[in-house]
């Protein structure tokens, strides 16, 4: 306990000395969320950090998130405390494979979910988040869209627009693992509780949801809901913020398997090491950065 307190103290000291800002995704361990200046969804965090005058950004998350921070803040140093924290979904599409698909559909508009590498974003016309994917695809002035890399989010969008959506065969192993059978069982146990599910889950699972939304949309829904018990269908790290925001409500996980191992790799010790030793610096080459930034800016324009 004392060791933890000391670490927190040391991190705060280093943070001040280094003019750093600490970001933590909602799926991080509670200790990382507690030490952070900002907690949030990945892209919102990068935008927040860009608005600060910090010189260093410590991103408690996975690599593509640190890359997005580097794209938006080219003059800041971005650190990923755990260099092995990758995202299997983002790694399911490479630039070469995407270029091949673009060649097959030369007229299509390429929409990449922000859970993709900087290099894939650079090959895209526009990015999207899980909050705005539907809005972005609807507002594109083209009836043919290539959607990468998440097939569940792509399918969720495709079912709600009158356009041809060519969907990449990628998925988030954590969300994709949930089965409809699990939802039915939870429903039996808590028949009154609304079920809130992230669109990275399978279609059969989404069909049983009372609400489908991104992590921050799930937080907002839970906060505004009159229900005192809710079922949560996204990564379990969100429970930390949910319980803090709603001390009188009860939350049950939709499935015990909603745990992303990569999101749990960052610890207080690693945040400390990261600030102390300036590790691991995440850089995006300037050519890629500019093109990826264009796709992100286009998203902001279309999403209003
Ligand atoms: Fe990637 Fe899924 Fe983990 Fe998010 S929860 S980092 S999308 S694997």
Provide the residue-wise pLDDT of the chain in tens; the chain has 304 residues. 578 889 999 999 999 999 999 999 999 999 999 999 999 999 999 999 999 999 999 999 999 999 999 999 999 999 999 999 999 999 999 999 999 999 999 999 999 999 999 999 999 999 999 999 999 999 999 999 999 999 999 999 999 999 999 999 999 999 999 999 999 999 999 999 999 999 999 999 999 999 999 999 999 999 999 999 999 999 999 999 999 999 999 999 999 999 999 999 999 999 999 999 999 999 999 999 999 999 999 999 999 8
Looking at the domain assignment, is residue 161 inside a domain?
A: yes
Q: What is the DSSP letter of 202?
A: -
Q: Is residue 258 part of a domain?
A: no
What's CA 248's distance to the chain center, in Å?
Answer: 27
Nearest CA to ligand 1 atom 5: 260
Would 35 be classed as within a structural domain? yes
**279 Cβ contact list (under 8 Å, min separation 6):** 79, 81, 83, 273
Distance 10 CA to ligand 1 centre (A): 30
The count of domains in the chain is 3
Q: Residue 23: helix, strand or coil by DSSP?
A: strand
The Cα 210–Cα 193 span in angstroms is 9
221 and 239 in a common domain: yes
Instruction: Verify that 166 and 94 share a domain, yes or no.
Output: yes
Radius of gyration of the chain (CA): 19
> Of the residues 91, 237, 238, 262, which should be mutated to test ligand 1's pocket, given the most ligand atoms within 8 Å of the CB?
262
Same domain for 81 and 10: yes
Same domain, 67 and 94: no
Same domain flag for 122 and 159: yes
Cα 199 off chain centre by: 12
Of 238, 269, 236, 282, the residue nearest 84 (C-alpha): 282
| 63, part of any domain | yes
In a domain, 218, yes or no: yes
In a domain, 77, yes or no: yes
73 and 114, same domain (yes or no): no
Q: Does a structural domain hold residue 60?
A: yes
Indicate whether 24 belongs to any domain. yes
The H or E element containing residue 6 is helix 2-18
Residue 248 burial class via C-beta count within 10 angstroms: exposed 0-12, middle 13-18, buried 19 and up: exposed
Atom of ligand 1 nearest to the CA of 89: 1
Could you list the residue range(s) of the whole structural domain that residue 186 is in?
Answer: 178-253
DSSP E strands, 246-287: 250-253
Q: Which two tokens stand for residue 14?
A: 């280093």
Same domain, 294 and 145: yes
Q: How far apart are CA 24 and CA 47, in angstroms?
A: 13
**CB contact at 8 A, 289 and 66:** no
What's the CATH code of the domain at 198? 3.40.50.10800
Shared domain for 150 and 197, answered yes or no, is no
Residues 79 and 228 in one domain: no
Q: Are residues 8 and 21 in the same domain?
A: yes
Same domain for 23 and 158?
no
For residues 106 and 241, state if they share a domain. Answer: no
Residues with beta carbon inside 6 Å of ligand 1? 27, 62, 87-89, 115, 172-174, 235, 260, 262-263
| Cα angle value 78/83/89 (rounded, 5°) | 95
């Amino acid at each position: 306990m004392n060791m933890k307190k000391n670490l927190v103290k040391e991190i705060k000291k280093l943070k001040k000395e280094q003019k750093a800002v600490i970001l933590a995704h909602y799926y991080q361990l509670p200790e990382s969320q507690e030490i952070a200046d900002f907690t949030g969804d990945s892209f919102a965090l990068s935008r927040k950090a860009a608005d600060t005058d910090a010189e260093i950004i410590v991103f408690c998350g996975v690599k593509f998130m640190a890359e997005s921070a580097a794209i938006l803040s080219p003059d800041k140093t971005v650190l990923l405390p755990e260099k092995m924290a990758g995202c299997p979904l983002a790694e399911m599409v490479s630039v070469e494979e995407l270029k091949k698909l673009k060649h097959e559909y030369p007229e299509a508009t390429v929409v990449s979910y922000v859970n993709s590498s900087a290099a894939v974003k650079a090959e895209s016309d526009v990015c999207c988040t899980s909050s705005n994917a539907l809005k972005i695809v609807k507002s594109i002035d083209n009836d043919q869209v290539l959607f990468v890399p998440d097939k569940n989010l792509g399918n969720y969008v495709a079912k709600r627009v009158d356009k041809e959506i060519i969907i990449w065969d990628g998925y988030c192993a954590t969300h994709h693992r949930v089965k409809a059978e699990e939802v039915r069982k939870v429903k039996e146990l808590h028949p009154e509780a609304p079920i809130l599910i992230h669109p990275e889950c399978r279609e059969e699972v989404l069909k049983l949801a009372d609400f489908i939304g991104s992590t921050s949309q799930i937080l907002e829904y839970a906060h505004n809901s009159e229900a005192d018990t809710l079922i949560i269908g996204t990564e379990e790290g969100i429970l930390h913020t949910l319980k803090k925001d709603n001390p009188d409500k009860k939350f049950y996980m939709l499935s015990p398997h909603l745990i992303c191992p990569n999101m749990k790799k960052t610890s207080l010790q690693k945040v400390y090491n990261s600030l102390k030793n300036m590790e691991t610096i995440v850089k995006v080459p300037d050519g890629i950065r500019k093109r990826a930034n264009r796709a992100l800016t286009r998203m902001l324009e279309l999403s209003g």
